[in-house]
Amino acid sequence: MKDPTRYFTEHFEFISSDNDAGYLSALGAALESCFARVTAALDVAPSKSVRVYIYPDLKSFHRAIGMTDAPDWVVGNAMDGGIHIVSPNGAGSRAFDDMQKVLIHEFVHIVTRCLSGDVYSVPCWLSEGVAVYEAGQLPGRLPADNPPPLSDLAAHGPETFAGLGGYQYAYTLVELIVKRFGYGKLRQLIASPGDMETVLGMSEAEFYALWADYLNRRYPRGN
């Protein structure tokens, strides 16, 4: 990024083009406002300031994250300890408050990785579920089909995951864990994602049945 604009808050460093200078204060405020809440919920915080890279358009953003064929809805990514995001100027029809939630979503990924140590050890439904839940990205109406098995929601890959309704379902899975078991169990599950029976006291099949019942009672289904 040529001659970038830099903006600092207590816990973040923003790196962007001059065209985004007017947004930086609001974006910084959005991240700082959620910092204490998210780090308290997950009981861990980044050890140093988190860099936030803002790209002027989708093409340059997708190139930077190594996903040149990514769909247009991919507007944020957390990698190498930093947050990468498309400028609100270049995010197409995405509203500014939506982009703020994307920024928080990616920050939650950073914090989750501080807890898990290895991002690839955490199933996608759990990693994305914590991010959408803490960012307040509500699921709305769920797909009409029965919820997919957790094994189908465990694979990484945004297009495949999204095609299953993964982000919506992931929100409800984490919501259920928080409401039924509490944040302490959620943290344990992130740290030991393959040990659901020890952490939650039930098999994956039993948890799936609990989740399916929760969906039937809590969420409307598509037509």
Q: Could you report the per-residue pLDDT of 146-164, keeping only the tens digit for each?
A: 899 999 999 877 889 999 9
Q: Is the pLDDT of residue 142 over 80?
A: yes
Question: In this predicted model, which residue has the larger pLDDT, 41 or 159?
Answer: 41
Sorted by where each starts, the structural domains of the chain and their CATH numbers stand as: 1-117 (3.40.30.160), 118-223 (no CATH)
Contacts for 178 with CB less than 8 Å, ≥ 6 apart: 133, 186
What SS3 state is found at 160?
Answer: helix
Q: pTM of this prediction?
A: 0.94
Residue with tokens 């996608």: 124
* Alpha helix stretches (DSSP H) within the chain: 21-42, 58-64, 96-116, 124-134, 158-163, 166-181, 183-191, 196-200, 204-218
CA distance 206 to 202: 6
pLDDT score of 63: 97
What percentage of the chain reaches a pLDDT higher than 90?
76
Average pLDDT of the segment spanning 91-105: 87
Strand ranges (E), 36-97: 50-55, 76-79, 82-86
